[in-house]
Amino acid sequence: MVESSAGAGVYLSSDIDLDVRLKVVGVNGRLPTDHVGEDGRAELRATFQLFTDDDEPLTSEVSSSSAAFEDARGEWNETLFFPLKYRDVSADARLEVKVWDSRDLSKDVVVGERSVSMFDENLSLRRGHQRAALRLRAKTTREPLPLD
């Protein structure tokens, strides 16, 4: 810990001996129509994995439970823990997010994905609510749909 002139403590990530955790709130917006049932609903789950900038995995994949997606909204409201301490996360670490269609667990179908860096341009750990637009995929292709 480094003492600032105002008496407040400033911590380096290398000082933090806590497990990396992520609060997963939900997903909002439109889904490709082939992921939504005739009733306008979908069943979604999300996976998260930490990587280095060189695409080397830092952790195994961590998964949320399934959540109902209805009226352009799905909510998880759960906290996930990674098998990694904050002190072991490098400044180039990124979080890969994938949202899956979980209606048929025998088929792995990605609805959308996004990669977000763990640290901002000032090398401060991102905290608080973060929004990330998913790159959506149609069920009939494994390629991402173009961004609007």
Return the number of other C-beta atoms located less than 10 Å from residue 127's C-beta: 7
Q: Mean pLDDT score of the chain, rounded to an integer?
A: 84
- Distance between CA 131 and CA 27 in Å, rounded? 9
CA distances from 109 to 10, 19, 48, 103, 135 (A): 43, 30, 15, 10, 14
Do residues 45 and 107 lie in contact, with contact meaning Cβ atoms separated by under 8 Å?
no
Q: What is the pLDDT of residue 128?
A: 87
Q: What is the pLDDT of residue 31?
A: 84
Q: What is the pLDDT of residue 61?
A: 95
Quote the pTM value.
Answer: 0.81
Looking at the predicted structure, is the pLDDT value of residue 35 above 50? yes
Work out the pLDDT band at 108, boundaries 50, 70, 90: confident
For the segment 53-77, the average pLDDT, to the nearest whole number, is: 92
Q: What is the pLDDT of residue 147?
A: 45
The residue type of 124 is S
For the purposes of burial, counting CB atoms within 10 Å of the CB of 44, is it exposed (0-12), middle (13-18) or buried (19 or more)?
buried
The string of DSSP codes covering 31-91 is --GGGS-TTS-EEEEEEEEEE-TTS-BSS--EE---EEEETTEEEEEEEEEEEEEGGG--T
Closest alpha carbon to 25 in 76, 63, 59, 71: 76
Looking at the predicted structure, is the pLDDT value of residue 135 above 70? yes
- Pick from 23-37, 48-62, 94-108 the range whose average pLDDT is largest: 48-62
